[in-house]
């Protein structure tokens, strides 16, 4: 068995509102809010790195778990915006936590990376005890802020989230996970080494609105659980319209879909963990199953089902 023991997050202090961003990309402030559901986002300071953001989120998570870094047996770090080809941020985060001998592996998968990390950690926990999963992104540096790229520039923000998956105990037991990949459409969302982020928005939204509900249904049906039994759906915060479409597709009340994209924008692989961290702080103890789900570059998508510790589906 594996458990969700704690979530954590970190958001940079600089707030970038639509009023500041809209003139830079040649759009109206009201149009921007209407089209994306995003009112503001956070940008990292010039001196900050992806690893630094991830470190702050990891420390917040460990504090909430009541754990010392030395209790971590493995580190998985998801990021699609790392500053260099290698090494990735994982080894830097491990060293900064004071556990340089602990294995630390990068998962360079945008948007869906933290979901994949949790799914992998649920299998690894039996061997490594406590697995720290981190999603950290500085997306503001990989998008082109101009009228020519307004459809992508307005969506993204910076931040980091973290989660401890434990073999011993936690507030929720991970019941099952489902992961999928379709490389036939990989060109629809890519970040080359020498150019800004490219996203075919129409293709991505088409795939996301179909694949996210399907994978949620898949993991629920595999475990005899109905969507209406789920207490909360914690999704990658791509944009508000996508989250609402998923809710409608599943026939579930929108209120069950935790959403903070209005305040932070799309923070790629960090977004689901940031949302989960804020949701868990608000609700405290859970009494019904929860679903985590994400979709991103690759194309990769998946879902994780968890139930209250010692509870029933």
**Superfamily in which the 172-308 domain is placed by CATH:** Thiolase/Chalcone synthase (3.40.47.10)
Q: Are 39 and 61 within 8 A, CB to CB?
A: no
The predicted structure's pLDDT at residue 220: 98
Q: Report how far residue 9's alpha carbon sits from residue 18's, in angstroms, rounded to the nearest whole number.
A: 23
The predicted structure's pLDDT at residue 145: 85
Q: Where are the beta strands (DSSP E) in 182-252?
A: 189-190, 198-199, 232-235
The predicted structure's pLDDT at residue 152: 85
Q: Report how far residue 106's alpha carbon sits from residue 104's, in angstroms, rounded to the nearest whole number.
A: 7
Indicate if 172-308 has the same CATH topology as 3-166. Answer: yes
**Every domain of the chain and the residues it spans:** 3-166, 172-308
Average pLDDT, consecutive stretches of 10 residues, N- to C-terminus, the chain (313 residues): 97 96 89 90 98 98 98 98 95 97 97 98 98 98 85 92 97 98 96 91 94 98 97 96 96 97 97 98 94 97 95 73
CATH fold of the domain at 3-166:
Peroxisomal Thiolase; Chain A, domain 1 (3.40.47)
* Structure token digits, residue 144: 């082109």
The predicted structure's pLDDT at residue 100: 92
The predicted structure's pLDDT at residue 89: 98
> The whole model's pTM is what?
0.97
């Amino acid at each position: 068995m594996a458990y969700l023991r704690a979530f954590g997050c970190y958001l940079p202090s600089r707030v970038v509102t639509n009023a500041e961003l809209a003139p830079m990309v040649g759009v109206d402030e009201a149009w921007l809010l209407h089209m994306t559901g995003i009112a503001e986002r956070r940008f990292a300071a010039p001196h900050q790195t992806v690893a630094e953001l991830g470190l702050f989120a990891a420390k917040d998570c460990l504090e909430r778990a009541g754990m010392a870094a030395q209790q971590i047996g493995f580190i998985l770090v998801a990021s699609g915006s790392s500053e260099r080809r290698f090494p990735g941020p994982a080894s830097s985060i491990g060293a900064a936590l004071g556990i340089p001998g602990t294995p630390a592996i990068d998962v360079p998968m945008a948007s869906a990376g933290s979901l994949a990390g949790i799914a992998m950690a649920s299998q690894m926990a039996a061997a490594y005890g406590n697995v720290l999963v981190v999603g950290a992104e500085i997306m503001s540096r990989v998008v082109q802020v101009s009228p020519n790229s307004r459809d992508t520039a307005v969506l993204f923000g910076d931040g980091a989230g973290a989660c401890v998956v434990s073999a011993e105990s936690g507030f929720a037991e991970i019941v099952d996970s489902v992961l999928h990949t379709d490389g036939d459409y990989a060109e629809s969302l890519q970040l080359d080494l020498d150019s800004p982020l490219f996203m075919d928005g129409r293709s991505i939204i088409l795939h996301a609105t179909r694949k996210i509900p399907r994978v949620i249904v898949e993991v629920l049906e595999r475990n005899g659980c109905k969507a209406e039994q789920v207490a909360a759906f914690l999704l990658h915060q791509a944009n508000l319209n996508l989250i609402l479409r998923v809710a409608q597709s599943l026939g579930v009340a929108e209120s069950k879909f935790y959403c903070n994209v209005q305040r932070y924008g799309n923070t790629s692989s960090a977004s689901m963990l940031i949302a989960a961290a804020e949701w868990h702080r608000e609700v405290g103890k859970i009494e019904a199953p929860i679903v985590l789900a994400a979709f991103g570059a690759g194309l990769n998508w998946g879902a994780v089902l968890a139930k209250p510790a010692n509870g029933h589906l």
